[in-house]
Structure 1
Amino acid sequence: MASTSSRGDAKGIDAAPSATIYMAVRFFLTCILKIFFREVETRGAHNIPKEGPVLFLCGPHANQYVDSLIVCTQINRVVSFLMAEKTLREPVVGELAKAMHAIPVIRPQDLAINGDGTVRFPDPDPEKPSKTLVGIDTKFKIQVQLRDKIALKTSPDSFEVVEIISDTELKLRSEPSEKAAVAAFSSAGGTPYRIIPHVDQHDIYARIWERLADNGAVAIFPEGGSHDQPELLPFKAGFTIFTLGAMAAHPGLEVKIVPVGLNYFHPDKFRSRCVVDFGHPLSISSELVEAYKKGGAEKRDACGKLLTAGTEALKNVTVNAPNYETLMVIQAARRLYQPATLKLPLVTVVELNRRFVYGCLQMQNEPEFKELKTKVAAYNRLLKYYGLRDHQVKKTALGGWRSARLLVQRVAVLLFVGMLAMPGAIINLPIALTAIYFSQKKQKAALASSVVKLRARDVVATWKVVVALGLGPVLYFLYALSILIWGITHNKSTTWNILVPLSVWIALPFFSYASVRVGEVGMDVLRSLPPLFVTIGQPQAAENLRQIRATLSQDITKAINRLAPRVYDDFDPDRWEKIARQQKVTSTSTAEQADKVETNENETNMEDQAHFWTTDLGSASNPLDQLRSVIQSHKDWIDDTMFNWNRHHETDDEDTDVLFDTLEGALNDKARRDGYVVKGKHAETIPEQGESTPSSSQTPRKRERKRTSSLGASLADGGLKVSALANLDREKGFGQLHQSLVDQQDSGL
């Protein structure tokens, strides 16, 4: 029988690289992240202690290795991350991790083996779970040791072994209660299982205590492995031992715990966005440290209290929804509550989402909330039906001729930008294809080996970055080598053969990045076309959508103004007017400083200036004001016709489509645990007893304006009963659902 230390003893940690190497690698990684992400914003950076021991509690762990890179590049201190030992053995990621002072940790799950035979309960009745497991063709005395754990592929739980009776019988510390585990153990023929060995992590604890005692900073993801769930996973208790143990071993040491929320907008997407939110530091009381020193039950109680405090602190800087359907509806409600003409900073969008999630969970049993949730879900499906995003609905009011003109102009811009971006796209096509191939391969492997991942999207971005880092320089070198070979075969001078290929090799990364930025503009233009198509082709449907949105926005605003004070003491119903006034003052401050002329507060809003050649100069009081009016009018026209496609801060307007994609193909046994099941390409909420939920349906290929117009008018006028929306046949297409609703309205139901 192998000893415990030989099966998993965390030793042999190399000395950390110098701070100079750390900062150099940190700068390099910052450049990489600026390429991959379109925007990374930081909130609450003042909460980071400039000195002293700090433990950064990071989550959710939604982007595998990229999470660590983002956190370390946003903290102006040397931070050591805990990282799986097997990761440090990988060629590219491992070397970067070592340079970033990563502390290797042997994870028990990385040492897991498949057990011989199958295991089951003594009584196969699922109503009679037991602490005892019996084996069929098993070798418990050879393969299993005390404190090892038995794990199943169908359950996220694992079960500690406290007694090995024979090769075919053992006892667990507690009875399995998780449904999937009970069902598996109750099968007559038993179930395959894995053995997770116990690992002595005392040496790791000692190393971390030493790092904290030296006033160092350590970062940890308390959830353990990465995942793509819509909420935080249960925390491991390790971070409580790190902090309490360090303070117990070094009297007078004061370790601060800083929660770090990672809020992504599409974490697996290239050129997506992220907000890193640093919460208020947690101070650990001396009472908890003294209780930890006493050991036993008091030690467990102290760790439990700190675990709860850390969990709540991290929830305060992250967005957590019980399931994706709820998150989708809440994000749509937030956009409807926010005035359409008001642009919010990215950090404010995240904070609003967080407050909406918390408030809606508190009010989820209110009849008014349930009714609004149903209407918002129906509105989301209408948007998906027309291929629009919420912020684009108001753009359908431009009018047919103006929309046609804008469509021609934007298509021309799209073609021009496409030609500029095409060379870079062709040059980097091998990198893109290889990155997609490897990321999908790793995604499938991660999904197969995990019981908590829904689609394993948390590994996609990491392998896109890794492949680009490894293949990019090699590909650019091959291009330079090709130029060198061409120069030699065409008898170019030695100077030419040296300088030109070298210059190409150096310039290609910058040229590629420029192509990415240009292509990004082209994608923004492409996303701005759907509202123009709807406006030109289905003007009545566009008008109905605007009416629906206006009605929903009013209903949601009234409901929030009435219900929110119960949840938030600092709620201010007039905050939007104040924010709009502040933004207006900010937008005009530069002009005021330049010419010392006071701006008229009643000046027509930029979004309402509809015509280029019809500027009203009569209202200007002097020639300077007239000149400014002309310039502003032309500036607004250019913005509206060429640049207004890019709603920089409305980053989550794509979330509806992305969430449906995320749910597509997810395993039902995993999804059911979060409150939904998957059918086809859409997710449906499992209703509570006595409740109904809105259906999710396939989008028909043919759009029927007449049906949509009737439905839109009904919703906008408030004449359609909510119960009609809630009790729909889930198997019908969207066009059939429209007709059903119209028929119900006509019949007076």
Structure 2
Amino acid sequence: MKQLWLYSIRSYLRLGLFFYFKKVEVINLKAIPKDEPVIFLANHQNALLDAILIAVKNGRFSYFLTRASVFSVPLISKMLQSLQMLPVYRVRDGFGNLSKNTSVFTKSSQLLHEKKAIVIFPEGNHNLKRTVRPLSKGFTRIIFQTLEDYPETKINVVPVGLNFKHATKYSDSALINFGVPFQVGSELLNDKNKSVLQLKEDVFLQLCQLTTHIESENYDIIITYLEKLNVDFTQPKHVNQCISNGFETCKKGLPEHDHRLKRLSKVLLIINLFIPYIIWKKMIQPKISEVEFISTFRFVIAITLVPVFIIVVMSVLGVVFELKYAFIYLFSVIVLNIFSVKL
């Protein structure tokens, strides 16, 4: 039953991502082990959308270490736990709660021993800046505890670079850039302090290659110049080379223009989905305090409120007129969505 639930949710999210993103590209997926313990370590830019993309596209039913604050509502907590999310407590959650992480890390070690996959965002928070922030050592604690409790275990570490062309816009394009897995074992326990530093450095360096990485110094100047060049941020290798070569090898991108059919489709789509659109624009978006959550909440509206509204309209059309008009409406909405997103 649990597998059926997870398959159903993943399939629904995959469908939602198809209608939400113009394109989602995945690189190096075949290199990920299927029946071995894996710990995915990803950069964190776009709030919950980061986790959704990895969950849908990594080919495994993974467990996610998630900040504990989102588990505060009992019903939401049960839902998140059913989706294999584990709460992690931070200082801001209260010093008294930090001890609860012990059981979470123990659970994570057991999962790795059972050859499961775990996803962690080691930067510790999200930020739309195109830079890899310093990594916390929480993931190393899980690795060491696993190797201490289960010395025979070999853990596959997979850095993941998440890249968005325009993270807050609709529609956007994304790249999930899986790094080269490297395996670690009990040899790390010989010198823990050295191993912690080495692990963090190895993961950090890979992440800097898998996503656009702009150093903090002169960040604003560099990002402004890159945006003027209209570089494609879903091509991090080219963008990073552009930066390292002093912009001499930069390829200037063509300006993005909305096709007339695309603009018309957006207007007609809004008309057909006017109630969800108004709720989003007038009630939800103005209350979002962190820009990183814009895409997440927009996507949640797209996969919850929009389908409900479509079903209601179809029901009314089917009862008042004929069933064929209900399906004409559904077909129209699907076509308009595809044109407004994919063109």
Q: Using structure 2 for the length normalisation, give the TM-score.
A: 0.85
* Inter-partner Cα distance in structure 1 for 2:38 and 2:222: 35
Flag the 1:520–1:92 CA change in 2: closer, same or farther, 3 A.
Answer: farther
Higher relative contact order (CA 8 A, sep 6+): 2
* Inter-partner Cα distance in structure 2 for 1:357 and 1:94: 43
| Counterpart residue number, 1:479 | 313
* Inter-partner Cα distance in structure 2 for 1:207 and 1:236: 19
Which structure is larger by alpha-carbon Rg, 1 or 2?
1
Deviations 1:441-492 (A, max 9, x none): 4432xxxxxxxxxxx32110111112233322332243245436645xxxxx
CA drift of 1:302 comes to 2.9
Deviations 1:661-690 (A, max 9, x none): xxxxxxxxxxxxxxxxxxxxxxxxxxxxxx
- Equivalent of residue 211 in structure 2, options 312, 315, 318: 318
* Inter-partner Cα distance in structure 1 for 2:108 and 2:302: 33
- Equivalent of residue 242 in structure 2, options 356, 377, 390: 356
Deviations 1:547-585 (A, max 9, x none): xxxxxxxxxxxxxxxxxxxxxxxxxxxxxxxxxxxxxxx
* Inter-partner Cα distance in structure 2 for 1:520 and 1:278: 25
Flag the 1:246–1:437 CA change in 2: closer, same or farther, 3 A.
Answer: farther
CA drift of 1:255 comes to 0.3
| Counterpart residue number, 1:432 | 277
1:443 and 2:284 matched? no
CA drift of 1:66 comes to 0.7
| Counterpart residue number, 1:272 | 172
| Counterpart residue number, 1:566 | none
The one-letter code sitting in structure 2 at the alignment partner of 1:84 is R
Deviates more, 1:424-433 or 1:24-33: 424-433
CA drift of 1:308 comes to 2.0
* Inter-partner Cα distance in structure 2 for 1:25 and 1:90: 21
CA drift of 1:78 comes to 1.4
Flag the 1:243–1:514 CA change in 2: closer, same or farther, 3 A.
Answer: same
Q: How does 1:612-651 map to 2 (within 5 A)?
A: none
CA drift of 1:423 comes to 3.9
Q: Is the 8 A contact 2:130 2:213 kept in 1?
A: yes
Q: Is the 8 A contact 1:258 1:280 kept in 2?
A: yes
The one-letter code sitting in structure 2 at the alignment partner of 1:391 is L
1:391 and 2:212 matched? no
The one-letter code sitting in structure 2 at the alignment partner of 1:461 is S
* Inter-partner Cα distance in structure 1 for 2:171 and 2:123: 26
CA drift of 1:358 comes to 3.7
In structure 2, list runs of 5 or more residues that go unmatched: none
Q: Is the 8 A contact 1:435 1:468 kept in 2?
A: no
Deviates more, 1:416-425 or 1:276-285: 416-425
CA drift of 1:21 comes to 1.8
- Equivalent of residue 248 in structure 1, options 119, 143, 148: 148
Flag the 1:283–1:331 CA change in 2: closer, same or farther, 3 A.
Answer: farther
Q: How does 1:554-565 map to 2 (within 5 A)?
A: none
CA drift of 1:239 comes to 0.3
* Inter-partner Cα distance in structure 1 for 2:271 and 2:331: 15
| Counterpart residue number, 2:301 | 467
The one-letter code sitting in structure 1 at the alignment partner of 2:52 is L
* Inter-partner Cα distance in structure 1 for 2:123 and 2:52: 17
1:309 and 2:202 matched? yes
Q: Is the 8 A contact 1:79 1:101 kept in 2?
A: yes
CA drift of 1:331 comes to 5.9
The one-letter code sitting in structure 1 at the alignment partner of 2:69 is K
| Counterpart residue number, 1:18 | 2
* Inter-partner Cα distance in structure 2 for 1:483 and 1:465: 26
Q: Using structure 1 for the length normalisation, give the TM-score.
A: 0.41
Q: How does 1:286-305 map to 2 (within 5 A)?
A: 286-291=186-191, 299-305=192-198
Q: Is the 8 A contact 1:26 1:100 kept in 2?
A: no
Flag the 1:19–1:354 CA change in 2: closer, same or farther, 3 A.
Answer: farther
Deviations 1:574-602 (A, max 9, x none): xxxxxxxxxxxxxxxxxxxxxxxxxxxxx
Q: How does 1:73-112 map to 2 (within 5 A)?
A: 73-89=56-72, 97-109=80-92, 111-112=93-94
* Inter-partner Cα distance in structure 2 for 1:290 and 1:238: 19
Q: Is the 8 A contact 1:438 1:463 kept in 2?
A: no
| Counterpart residue number, 1:533 | none
SS at match of 1:352: helix
- Equivalent of residue 221 in structure 1, options 108, 115, 121: 121
SS at match of 1:316: helix
CA drift of 1:436 comes to 3.1
CA drift of 1:333 comes to 6.1
The one-letter code sitting in structure 2 at the alignment partner of 1:327 is I
Flag the 1:473–1:392 CA change in 2: closer, same or farther, 3 A.
Answer: closer
CA drift of 1:238 comes to 0.6
In structure 1, list runs of 5 or more residues that go unmatched: 1-16, 113-147, 149-195, 292-298, 336-343, 361-368, 377-388, 394-409, 445-455, 488-495, 525-749
CA drift of 1:419 comes to 5.8
- Structural RMSD (CA): 3.3
Deviations 1:689-711 (A, max 9, x none): xxxxxxxxxxxxxxxxxxxxxxx
CA drift of 1:422 comes to 4.6
The one-letter code sitting in structure 2 at the alignment partner of 1:72 is A
1:235 and 2:135 matched? yes
Deviations 1:148-203 (A, max 9, x none): 5xxxxxxxxxxxxxxxxxxxxxxxxxxxxxxxxxxxxxxxxxxxxxxx86444110
The one-letter code sitting in structure 2 at the alignment partner of 1:309 is D
The one-letter code sitting in structure 1 at the alignment partner of 2:11 is F
- Equivalent of residue 34 in structure 2, options 50, 54, 58: 50
* Inter-partner Cα distance in structure 1 for 2:185 and 2:273: 54
